[in-house]
Amino acid sequence: MLSDTVGNSYKTEPHPEDRVYAGVFGCIMVIGLPLNAASLWILLRRHSLQSPNAVLMVSLAVSDLLVIISLPMRIYFHATRRWPLSNMACLIITMLFRNNLWSSAFFITFISVDRLLAVVYPLRSRHLRTSSNAWKGAAVVWLFVLIMNVPGFMDLKHFKNRNNTTCFGPLDSMSATQSAVIYFQMALIVTMLAVNIICTVMVSWTLCNRPSDTAKINNKVNVMLIFAMNLVLFTICFLPVQIGLATKSFAHLTPLVCLAAVNCCLDPLLYYFSFDSFWKKKEDAIKEGEM
């Protein structure tokens, strides 16, 4: 999603905005790391992975932690305007950041679809909403984001003339391959946003117009908060940076990358709203995961 790694126009001294970017990434890491680590620990210890919802939440938490792992080098780069490692290391760290934002978008969409099936089609979807299918879906997501790396590694010529001051600098240009990938990613993001909107509308309609069918749902407010959070994450974190790439607004790309990384701090709210009690024991979580 984030191909913000080409350019050679930055000076060696940090610009004032670079220190802002370093501070933003630092805050995201300081807040997101303990939140996601604690969330992952609670999900694994207190909730059974026999619930498809819990499987997707664990996958999302792992995805967020992988994004956070890539932040220290971004912080160092923006604070010093120097890249101490090789160009290949820059490419790998950029792709780690980019790929796991993509996986977050997929897992958030899967969570919306899972909640849709649980609320709107609780009986007919029982054979679909299994932990086995959730694990298969997670495996497909990770495989897909890895495949999306192939064009980047095949286009290494854009990294040959790089120096130690331009790793995360703005794009100067894009190859035809990069442009095609960006447009494909834009279509994919819009499609996932549309899926989240449809899920939100259908669940909202069901909760309002079929109360007898949703009587077993303990906290309908939390259900709607999940969908509201998903839409916020897409419209604020994922969509703007993709629009920036598609419209070649490279000069303003880094602030959008900062905005995209904020999802690591917001995702833990999904874990809390997804369960009536985030601290429930495993046996209770299994029963809840059926809803």
Name the DSSP class of 159: G
The mean pLDDT of the chain is 80
Residue 144: helix, strand or coil by DSSP? helix
Domains identified in the chain and CATH numbers: 16-289 (1.20.1070.10)
Quick one: pLDDT at residue 172?
59
**Span 14-42, mean pLDDT?**
90
Residue 52 has a pLDDT of: 86
pLDDT digits (tens, 9 = 90+) for 44-97: 887 777 788 889 999 999 999 988 988 998 999 888 888 888 777 888 888 888
Rounded CA gap, 84 and 115, in Å? 45
* CB distance 64 to 36 below 8 Å: yes
Average pLDDT estimate for 207-211: 76
Q: Provide the pLDDT confidence category of residue 158 given band limits of 50, 70 and 90.
A: low
pLDDT at 257 over 80: yes
With beta carbons less than 8 A apart as the criterion, state whether 115 and 57 touch. no
Q: How many CB atoms lie within 10 A of CB 247?
A: 11
Residue 170: the pLDDT is 59
| Amino acid type, 231 | L
